[in-house]
Chains A and B, each alone.
Chain A
Amino acid sequence: MLSIRNIVKQYAEHRALDGVSLEVEKGSIFGLLGPNGAGKTSLIRIINQITAPDEGEVYFNGEKLNPNHIAKIGYLPEERGLYKKMTIGEQALYLAQLKGLSRADATKRIKFWFEKMEMQTWWDKKVEDLSKGMQQKVQFVATVLHEPELIILDEPFSGFDPVNAEIVTKEILELNKKGATIIFSTHRMESVEQLCDSIALINRSHKILDGKVKDIKNSYRDNTFTLSFEGNFPEAKADLFDIVAEPKNGSVTVKINKAKNANELLSYVLPHIQIQELKEEVPSIHDIFIQKVTQLS
């Protein structure tokens, strides 16, 4: 769907992107992660043709990125807003028409979405009369009105209460099911785990990690297990396991030697304890994020 190849973006004395390559699969939800100032927004702006890269290319459905693609992309920027003095309906119409919809088409779709999101009564309201969360809802609708193939959402949940965040999440998943590819940039790692199929981690202008969420998590498994038990946990055994966190309140975290597995651990410790639970410690995206970013700095 979207192929980003070797992008370099240089601002006066600052290199925002340095040889970044990414592949976003059609129909996937792609998480674009990274600490503040890593270069995410620069990359998103390049995809939206707001700026152009100094080096490298972007391909959209196999075609080199060109102005025709603008109508096929929906972009919800992190820094977003609406005209304060314009009514909601007119505003949505304006933005939809800028994306190339006819007035009649736009009106029809806005009505459909306003009904869906329970915003029917908002048409003649002015932005200044709406709460922040309500404004965000309008912006979300304006982003997806033209049924884009690619939807780019930069911190889509900021400003939403949990109820509205849930509504928007549902809509995102539904759009994805209908075939839209979604690029999702956020600092909320729990939504990444919940929504994303693949992620890329950008830090200091470089991509430092990418792939399917499942694969990444698997690759970060290091044979660490937590056991809940009763009894006296035995000492560590160098050729079988190390203790990561000392036994406390009937719980212990151990790291099993690479050559061994959980069964072997169990048969070794069972004579000493009454086992209640054995759980593998799979690192969360949150942990991986922090590990990768702090490691490099």
Chain B
Amino acid sequence: MNKILLIIQREYLSRVKKKSFLLMTFLVPALIIGMYALIAFLSVKGGDKVTEITVYDESQIFAGNFKNSSLIRYQTSTLSLVDAKKQAAENEDGFILYIPAETGKETQVQLFSKKKIGLSSLSNIENQMNEILRTKQLKDAGIDPSTLAQIKPDVTINSIELTAEGEKDSSAGAAYIIGFAAAILVYMSLFIYGSQVMRGVIEEKTSRIVEVVISSVKPFQLMMGKIIGIGLVGLTQFILWIVLSTTLVSSAGQFFLKDKMEQVKSIQTEKSEGQKPNVEFNQGPGATVINAIQTLNLPYILGTFLVYFLGGYLIYSALFAAVGAAVDNETETQQFMLPITLPLLFTYIMSFSFIVNNPDSTLSFWLSIIPFTSPIAMMVRLPFGVPDWQLALSIVLLIAGFLFTTWIASRIYRVGILMYGKKVNFRELAKWLTYKE
């Protein structure tokens, strides 16, 4: 078998077999699902059961005007406030809404109960009361509410992108989120897998196996084998995450989340019924993202994400490998890490503060073209639309950058791995570049 394949195989298998890999592979999707479930759970908290609200209305404006829903039922009390309070204190689930006689702009309404009311129930009450009060005040002012309903404005902006294929819906918000997520993922994985390469090199050096190995293979083969092997570990992890998350989300959605999701939907619907009858049915923030994702051409984004992850990884992991070769242990890596982290950190900060607001500016353009910054910057720009020629130029330069850093790194690596107990600095490293084999 080809020697570099053997090395790739060892690097790959020794990591994939680790318990921590397995743990990460299952933990991350589980966390994502868990987060979804938690959000869904929280948003419908208190909505599992029908909330009974006893209205004690001294103002006589509201009682009877509350609309019941599937989750909240209103009833007007005939008891005195004191008795009602007593009753509520005995009843675990009861709520008493006390509305004083004086109602004006700042009506002080009180809700008595033994336990805390859910957020959605509370907002339901507030919305209804506002609506009722507004209707009454309009009536008092001599305006017919039905006239008002007719003239109620309803403006929603649909952002339409003009592309070669025709018009398509786009959402700046979703683009923003997708771009960020991809950029953060690239940024983090460059560090995670890059430093794995570095630690691997240091491990080989400190355990003194490196000289045994390079009496069989060229240092370059050893370095590339390690880089490719760990890169494949990263890819495997991503793919497993995507597969696991989607299966988990869809199956969990079928079995567990279905009810919750419907409740969420119904609450949203009810909420909107009161105020804006014209608003679309599933207009939650989650739905916006999902709708936008559907317009965003996912295979294209996923494909470019993989290209930039791989390109960026190859560029930076070569440098990480060179750092690992230049030092004797991990504590010495500090001084060499700065030039590696700086461009990444800079792009990361720029992405969040500048590029996302000005995706087509000159600076954004250059950041997404220069190979050291493009893996992150391009991810941020991509959802906003990047001309094909820029993408092509950026990828070509990415490959060139990878070849360049690999060349540099391999020159440092081959000298460094055989150098023990010597503190090196940048001048020394520069000298190594010119060493003959």
A residues within 8 Å of B by Cβ?
11-12, 45, 48-52, 54, 70, 73, 75-77, 79-86, 94-95, 97-99, 103, 139, 142
Do the beta carbons of A80 and B211 come within 8 Å of each other? yes
Q: Collect the chain B residues with CB atoms within 8 Å of residue A79's CB.
A: 208, 211, 420
User: Could you tell me if B215 and A48 are in contact, using CB atoms closer than 8 angstroms?
Assistant: yes
* Chain A interface SS verdict (over half): loop
B157 at the interface (CB under 8 A from A): no
Pick from B6, B418, B420, B437: contact of A94, CB under 8 Å:
B6
Check if B212 sits within 8 Å of A50, measured CB to CB. Answer: no
Given A11-B435, A77-B211, does the pair A98, B203 have CB atoms closer than 8 Å? no
How far in angstroms is the closest Cβ of chain A from B225? Answer: 10
In the bound assembly, the distance between CA atoms of A103 and B217 in angstroms comes to 17
Tell me the nearest residue of chain B to A83, going by C-beta: B209
Which of these, A50, A73, A81, contacts B214 with CB under 8 Å? A50
Shortest beta-carbon distance from A36 to chain B in Å = 13
Point out the residues of chain A lying under 8 angstroms from B214, CB to CB: 50
Name the distance in Å between B133's Cβ and chain A's nearest Cβ.
Answer: 70
15 residue pairs from A and B, CB less than 8 Å apart: A11-B435, A48-B215, A50-B211, A51-B437, A52-B436, A52-B437, A54-B436, A77-B211, A79-B208, A80-B211, A83-B209, A86-B14, A97-B6, A98-B7, A139-B212
Query: Are B6 and A81 closer than 8 Å at their CB atoms?
Result: no
Would A98 and B216 count as touching, CB distance under 8 A?
yes
B212 near A95 with CB under 8 A, answer yes
> Using Cβ atoms and an 8 Å threshold, which residues of chain B touch A84?
203, 207
Total chain B interface residues with beta-carbon distance under 8 A? 24
Question: In the complex the two chains form, what is the Cα distance from A81 to B437 in whole Å?
Answer: 24
Q: How far is the CB of A106 from chain B (nearest CB, A)?
A: 11
User: Could you tell me the distance in whole angstroms from the C-beta of B322 to the nearest C-beta in chain A?
Assistant: 18
Shortest beta-carbon contacts, A-B, top 5 = A81-B208, A98-B216, A81-B207, A77-B211, A75-B215
* 15 extra A-B contacts, CB within 8 A, seeds A79-B420, A94-B6: A12-B431, A50-B418, A52-B437, A70-B215, A76-B212, A77-B215, A80-B208, A80-B211, A81-B208, A81-B212, A83-B203, A95-B212, A98-B6, A103-B1, A142-B212
In the assembly, what is the distance between CA of A86 and CA of B207, in Å? 12
The answer, among B14, B212, B436, for a CB contact under 8 Å with A77, is: B212
Query: Please, how many angstroms separate the alpha-carbon atoms of A98 and B6 in the complex?
Result: 7
| Contact call A95/B216, Cβ cutoff below 8 A | yes
Q: For chain B residues 179-213, which have a beta carbon within 8 Å of chain A?
A: 203-204, 207-209, 211-213
Give the contacts of B389-437 with A (CB-CB under 8 A).
Answer: 418, 420, 431, 435-437
Q: Give Cα distance in the complex from A99 to B1, angstroms.
A: 10
B114 within 8 A of A: no
A82–B436 contact, CB under 8 A?
no
A83 to B208 alpha-carbon distance, docked (Å): 9
When distances are taken between beta carbons in the complex, the residues of chain B under 8 Å from A95 are 212-213, 216
In Å, the complex CA distance between A49 and B213 comes to 12
